[in-house]
Amino acid sequence: MNKIKNTFKITTLAIVVATSLAACSQKAEITQSTPQALPTVLTSNDAQVFLDKVAKEQVALALSINRAEWIYSNFITEDTSALAAEASQKATEASVKFAMQAASFDAIDVTPIQRRQLNILKQSIVLPAPQDSAKSAELAKIGAELGSIYGKGSYTTQAGEKLSLGDMTSIMAESRNYDELLEMWEGWREISPPMKTLYTRQAELANEGANGLGYKDLGAMWRSNYDMPADDFAKELDRLWGQVKPLYDDLHCYVRSELGKEYGEDKVPQDKPIPAHLLGNMWAQSWGNIYPLVAPESADPGYDVTKQLAAHNYDEIQMVKAAEKFFTSLGFDALPETFWTRSLFTKPADRDVICHASAWDLDAKDDLRIKMCIQKTGEEFSVIHHELGHNFYQRAYKDQPVYFQNSANDGFHEAIGDTIALSVTPKYLKEIGLIDTIPDESKDIGLLMKQALDKVAFIPFGLLVDQWRWKVYSGEVTPENYNEAWWELREKYQGVAAPVARNADAFDPGAKYHVPGGVPYSRYFLAHIQQFEFHRALCEISGNTDPIHRCSIYNNKDAGKALNTMLEMGSSQPWQQAYKVLTGNEQMDATAILDYFAPLQTWLKDKNQGKQCGF
C-alpha cells in the first residue's frame, strides 16, 4: 500500500465493550459512571462485586457512546463534535476511576480470572492521570493542546502557498525533486517545536499517574500489557528485530543504490544512512511510493486489479460483497443485514465525513459496520478484506465476558486484518474471476518488492518509536536530548538520517501523530511480525503446496475453523495461548517473514553484489 493506513489504536478508555477500528484504530468505550466506594478491607468477593458492577454499567452505556462517535464521524458538525467530545470525556474520567479502584486489589488474593480482568482495567489507560484533580485537568488540557497543534498544522511554501499535511504527504509521495522534497520535510517539522515543553510536562504527569497504579514509569506500564514481565517484552522485540534485520539490510542496500542513481551519490552517499526525505513518505516509515524508482525490470505481473474491477463492472458494494464471500468461504456466517443498511461505503455528496477506513462494533453483539469512502481500486479491494477481518474478529469474541471482548494483544487485531489481506493473491483473484491467468513466478519479484517496501521497510520504524518514548519516560533521555536521541535511533534501526542538521530546539518526534497523540506504537511492530506467521500457519493448515507468498486460504474450511478458534478466545487468555492455538508455538517467530520474501531476498543479494552495504 502507498501508506501505512491500517493502524491500530486504543484510546484512553477503560475497557473494550464495542470497538471502532479506524483503518484500523480501535477505540475501547466504557461507561459514564463509577461504582460505589469500596470496602475498607477487601476480599475476592469484593473484587467480583466490583467487576460485575463495572461490567453491567459498561454494557448499559457503551452503545450510546459508540453512537455518538459514529454520528460524529458520519455527520461532522459543531454539535456532533461536541456530543462526541462529551462522551469521550465522560468515558476517560470513568476509566481513570475504574483503574484506580482496580489497583486497590493489587495486594488482595483473587482468582486468576479476576486478576486478569483487574489488570485489564488498570492497563487500558494509555496516559494515566495523577490522583490529583488539578493535575488530572492539566494532563487533559495538555493532550488537547498537543492534538490541536498537530491537527491544525500547516506549512506555507516559499512561493506563498499554504499546504496541509495531506497536501504535503501527496507531494512527498509523487515528487522526485530533491529540493521540493526537502522543503516539504522541513516545513512539516516546523509545527512540532512548540510541543516540546507540553510533551515534557505530559510525560511527568503520566509518569506520576503510572506510579499511582504501581508502575515505575509509563513505559514500564505500557510494556506490562503483554502477559510477560516488562523487561522481557523489550528483549522479545529486540530478538524479533534481529531475525528480520538481514532482510531489511538487503532491502536498504538495494534501495539506497537506486536512489543514488536517481539523485546522485553526492546527495545519497552509498556508505551512509539514506536521507529521510527521499523515501516517498513524510516519516520514511514505508517506502511503497518510490516503487517506480526501484522496480525490478520486467516485473509487471500483466494485470492491474483496478482495471480488472472496472472491466468486471464492480461497484463499491460488490467489492465488499466479494470480501464477505472470502470469509463465508472459510465457514464464517454471513454478515448481518444491518451491516449493509448501516455502514458507510461511499462519500456522501452533501456533507463532510471522516473518510479514514474503519471497522466498527457498536453493541458488542451483531451491530457490525464499516465506514469507508471506497475508491474502486486494487488497493481499496485489499483494504476492504482487511477491514472485514476486524469485523469477523469482533463477532467471534462477542460471547466472551465484556472484559475479554478484545484481541489477544493489541497487535492481534491489526495482524488479523493484514493476514486476510495477504491472501489477496493472483491465485485468489483468478478463483473469483477477476483475472484469467496466474502470472508465472518470474513476475513475483515485482509483487514482493511492492510488499517489502511497505511491510519490511516499516518494521524498524514500528520498533523505534516506543524505544524512544520508553527512554523518555524512564528519564534516560532528557528534554535537551529529545531530538538527538530520536535521530540516533532512526539511524541505528532504519539507516535513515535527517537530510539537514537539526536545530537543538527541534522536536522531530512530535511531527509523527502517535507521539503528541499518546498512542503506543509497539502494536504496529507486533502486527507486522504476527501477520506473516498467522499466514504461514493458515497456509500449512489449508494444505497449501505453493510458496507462501502465492498462497491464499480462500475456500478452505480447515483454515477457517482454526482461525475462528483463535478469534473466539478474545483476550480471555494470555496472548501466548491464543498464538499456540493457530501456530503451535507460544513464542513469536519472525522467520515467517523471511520465508515469505525468500525469492526477493535472493534477488536482492544478487543485485547487491559488489556494493558497500550497511549504515
Residues annotated as part of the active site: 387, 514
Contacts of 197 (CB under 8 A, 6+ apart): none
Q: Which residue matches cell numbers 462519500?
A: 347
> How do strand 154-156 and strand 358-361 relate by DSSP bridges?
unpaired
Instruction: Quickly list DSSP for 414-468.
Output: HHHHHHHHHT--HHHHHHTTS-SSPPPGGGHHHHHHHHHHHHHHHHHHHHHHHHH
The three grid cell numbers given for residue 331, joined into one nine-digit string: 465457514
C-alpha distances (whole Å) from 372 to each of 69, 196, 266, 419 are 15, 34, 44, 20
Gap between the Cα atoms of 407 and 404, Å rounded: 8
> How do strand 496-497 and strand 274-275 relate by DSSP bridges?
parallel
Contacts of 475 (CB under 8 A, 6+ apart): 217
User: Across the beta sheet with 368-371, what order do the strands follow?
Assistant: 20-21, 358-361, 368-371
> How do strand 368-371 and strand 358-361 relate by DSSP bridges?
antiparallel
Phi-psi region for residue 546, left (φ > 0), alpha (ψ -120 to 50) or beta? beta
Gap between the Cα atoms of 354 and 358, Å rounded: 10
Contacts of 544 (CB under 8 A, 6+ apart): 551, 553
